[in-house]
A and B are shown apart, each in its own frame.
Chain A
Amino acid sequence: MKELLKVEHLTKTFTSGLIGGFEIRAVDDVNFEIKPGEIVSLVGESGSGKTTIGKLILHLLTPTSGRILFEGKDIMKLSKKEIKKNYYRKVQAVFQDPFASFNPLHEVDRAFDLVFNSFFPDVSKGERNDMINQALVQVGLNPSEVRGKYPHQLSGGQLQRVLIARSLLLKPKLLIADEAVSMLDASTRIDILNLLGDFRDKYGTAVLFITHDLALGYYISDYTIIMYRGTIVEMGDTEKVFHNPLHPYTQMLLESVPDLNVKWEFKGIEPEKEEGAVYSIQGCRYAPRCPRAKDVCFKVRPKLRELEENHWVACHLYGGE
């Protein structure tokens, strides 16, 4: 099956400082694909560039270089009108803070009006109502409990469901979920995740699940991409990445996850050394923290190599030039 989204040599540089400022390569030569109906989790800590990638795909930021191909077309070459009318019809997003996604002065229903006005201007009012109610029921909400309410009258979980219901109306090809469940309580979080899964099972919607939480990524995704400071260090089938982590960073990350089945030994982990210059390192960006770093790691950026089928790693420990 041909890929739905293809990211090629994607790079985004932010410049900071007014005069003679320094550059931060927030995303540095990133390549990956999302197949139709695939749930891909993009995992990384703060500063890894995962949100920037989401914003680039959503056309909210312009890449410094590289291409984003959606259904074979370079999205940077689409006209403004095409982006609004077609692209956003197929690519939708749910963000971290549901309270920030709603205007507190308007009833939550207004979120739906925007979708109808943009994409279904000809639908009659009665039909509109039915469609909204249907979508709300599908995400497990009781329309009478939600409609006509203001955002502050609902919980974060309910609001997040409303936003998912809104995306559901469009049946998008790709949903970008940027930390979409991070703010929710453990008791509601898993249901929202299941919703994303159901959504995919029913409509074949691919999901890019951006998260810092490895356990959530593991639970929901088919494919996992691990990022560190703007570069992909490891990616592959979720089972392979989690059960056979190859990159020292992935290994350390997995060790740090508090998992119910595993006891921690207190052995004194080295805190992160603050490396302001990490974004300008020629070699592997993890090298300054890596316990197994060699000379070559500081000089040459390791390339992603496929070590086993559908399991890629960028690390000099596994050969390459």
Chain B
Amino acid sequence: MSLLEVKNLKIYYKTPAGPVKAVDGVSFKVKKEEVFGIAGESGCGKSTLVHSLILRKPPMEHAGGEALFKGKNLMKLSPEEARKIRYTQLSIIPQYAMNALNPTKKIKDIVWDLAREHGHTNRSEVEKLLRERLAMVKLTPKVADMYPVELSGGMRQRATMVVSTLLNPDLLIADEITSALDVTTQRVVIELLHHFMEEDIVKSIIFVTHDLALLDKIANRTMILYAGKTAELGPTEEIINNPTHPYTQLLLNALPRMGVQYKKQKLKGIPGYPISLLNPPKGCRFYTRCPYAMDRCKDEEPPLVKVGEEHYAACHLLGGESQ
């Protein structure tokens, strides 16, 4: 069963020079009880994609496609409907989660405002839940009575995670939430997300990151985005061990890992830079950097083809039959 089904979604940014096609025809499903990873470089549209599901605002524009969440098209919700499902069904931990909390309010007041908006009437019950959850993320329940500035970065991050998940959303979006953290703190955050799933606080998670090695640790399935399009999609293990798109292959080869040293084995990056999304070429968006680029790559867009069990990639090398 899928919780979220995104079909051919297009999200553009309106600019005087024309639309910037940040997300251009992306399709995927998020199943119940899975962590779905989205990976890509800066500017590939990964943040735009997830933000469009929950916080779409100008200059971000819905330019086509749909996102069905529990049967409802998120692209067509009224502001009132969107407000209602936020936090209770669909929630996000934003990238700068450390600074996402209102600095003038105590944690318990932030939480009470939120709960009240969603129809809770018993304040002491909500606060009891807050203290329980704080304990779950190994913060002292006293944090409820503190202001966000009184907490260190790592603690604030955990407090934000508690606030975002307090009303047990079905789908939690985590957008680069560990990028600014130390490796040890990052590991704690990943453990906590895992725990949230186990405790059934959230049903599914979309985990957005630039770090493939991290997805390897947490995501069941992974989508690799490149310049607003899906390059490859499949079970994370398959993507890591058996990548089929040249971009995924080169990206994995560029990752340092234990045991690989400059002196013995030089890794190679991907030459060149991503294309501009203002007027993207008709064909494959990776062709400018692809060592295997052929004539047709420039003009013909490669369709997403099935390359294995639940494993898809968009590259002319893999054949041209549309799925």
Complex Cα–Cα for A252 and B186 (A): 13
CA distance A112 to B68 in the complex (A): 53
Tell me if B291 is interfacial: C-beta within 8 Å of chain A: no
Nearest-CB residue, chain B, relative to A255: B187
Please name all residues of chain B whose beta carbon is closer than 8 Å to the beta carbon of A185 when the two chains form the complex: 41-42, 210
Given A219-B260, A219-B261, A187 contacting B185 (CB threshold 8 A)? no
Contacts A194-B262, A260-B216 given; does A188 touch B269 at CB 8 Å: yes
Task: Give Cα distance in the complex from A197 to B188, angstroms.
Answer: 33
CB distance from A128 to the nearest CB of B (A): 27
Chain B residues whose C-beta falls within 8 Å of the C-beta of A262 in the assembled complex: 258
The number of chain B residues with a CB under 8 A from chain A is 48
The answer to whether A266 and B267 have CB atoms under 8 Å apart is no
Question: Which of B25-33, B247-255, B314-322 lines the interface with chain A?
Answer: B247-255
A318 to B138, CA, bound (A): 31
Of A158, A186, A194, A220, the contact of B255 (CB 8 Å cutoff):
A186
B254-272, CB < 8 A from A: 254-263, 266-271
User: Closest chain B residue to A266 by CB distance?
Assistant: B194
Task: Considering the complex, give the chain B residue whose CB is closest to the CB of A216.
Answer: B256
Q: Are B273 and A155 in contact (CB under 8 A)?
A: yes
In this assembly, does B117 line the interface, its C-beta being within 8 Å of a C-beta of chain A? Answer: no
Bound: A266/B262 CA distance, A: 32
Asked if A122 is at the interface of the complex by the 8 Å CB criterion, the answer is no
Any chain A CB within 8 A of the CB of B217? yes
A270 to chain B: which residues have CB within 8 Å?
A: 138
A residues in contact with B250, CB < 8 Å: 187
- Taking a contact as CB atoms closer than 8 A, the residue among B153, B182, B266 that contacts A212 in the complex is B182
Chain B residues in 8 Å Cβ range of A188: 269-270, 273
With A and B bound together, what is the CA distance between A238 and B259 in angstroms? 11
The chain A residue sitting closest to B185, CB to CB, is A272
Which residue of A is nearest B152, CB measured? Answer: A274
Contact of B213 with A by CB under 8 A: yes
Q: How far is the CA of A222 from the CA of B273 in the complex (A)?
A: 30
Residues of B within 8 A of A272 (CB): 154, 184-185, 188
Between A212, A218, A258, the greatest number of chain B beta carbons within 10 A of the residue's beta carbon is seen for A258
- Given the known inter-chain contacts A185-B42, A190-B256, please indicate yes or no for A256 contacting B269, CB distance below 8 A: no
Query: In the bound complex, what is the Cα–Cα distance between A243 and B253 (angstroms)?
Result: 22
Q: Answer whether residue B299 sits at the interface, using C-beta atoms and an 8 A cutoff.
A: no
Question: Which A238-280 residues have a C-beta within 8 angstroms of B?
Answer: 238, 242, 252-253, 255-264, 266, 268-272, 274
Q: A190's contact among B190, B217, B267, by CB below 8 Å, is which?
A: B267
Of B153, B184, B250, chain A has the most CB atoms within 10 Å of the CB of B184
Contacts from A to B (Cβ < 8 Å): 45-46, 155, 157-158, 185-194, 197, 212-216, 218-220, 222, 238, 242, 252-253, 255-264, 266, 268-272, 274
| Other 15 A-B pairs with CB < 8 A, given A45-B185, A187-B41, A255-B187 | A155-B273, A185-B210, A186-B41, A186-B211, A186-B251, A187-B251, A189-B254, A191-B268, A192-B269, A193-B256, A219-B260, A253-B184, A260-B216, A271-B154, A271-B188
